[in-house]
Amino acid sequence: MPHIHTGSGQIDFTASVFIVYGNKVLLRIHDKYKFWAAPGGHIELDEVPEDAAVREVKEEVGLDVKLFGGDRSEIPNLKNFDTSRELIPPVFMNIHKINDEHRHIDLVYFATTDTDRVAEPDNHEKSDECRWFTKEELLAESGIAERFKCYGTRALEMLGSKL
């Protein structure tokens, strides 16, 4: 997607998803920046963040996911308010520098999936590698940034199963 904001000091909004299957979390080598990261990308102008998160996962790794926090059973009935929609909150948010002129505000979601079968696209978003990491593997991998280790570990602690 083209960047939403242009000019000096631009900030775009993105969504990242740490997907858990069993006792592993999925990371991919980012197609443009060549580092380990969770699937994710820019939030389009006409999207809410949770929809962007689900779309980016499907586009990048071909998985259907259920976002953590998606149980709306305790949310008050708002059917009389047609101008309102409850959103799934991200688990974390951060702002990070892409370059001297560009930053991202990233909404970090956790999710589960019913399969570990990644289906990468044959287009510009194809990763150099996708890999499911156990907590031990994630922490031992020297090529993963600390924030991704932190988010991945927390996602495993919250959503992982004891196999």
Distance CA 117, CA 114 (A): 9
**pLDDT at 32 (0 to 100):** 82
Instruction: Read off the pLDDT of each residue in 124-137 and give the average, rounded to a whole number.
Output: 85
Per residue in 16-40, pLDDT (tens digit) is: 999 999 999 999 998 888 899 999 9
- Which tens digits make up the pLDDT trace of 69-84? 877 666 666 555 567 7
Percent over 70 (pLDDT), the chain: 82
Confidence class for position 163, pLDDT limits 50, 70, 90: very low
Q: Which residue has the higher pLDDT, 102 or 122?
A: 102
Neighbouring-strand partners of residue 112 = 20, 66
DSSP for residue 49: H
- Ramachandran quadrant class, 40 (left: phi over 0; alpha: psi -120 to 50; beta: rest): left
C-alpha distances in Å from residue 116, one per residue of 60, 131, 148: 14, 10, 19
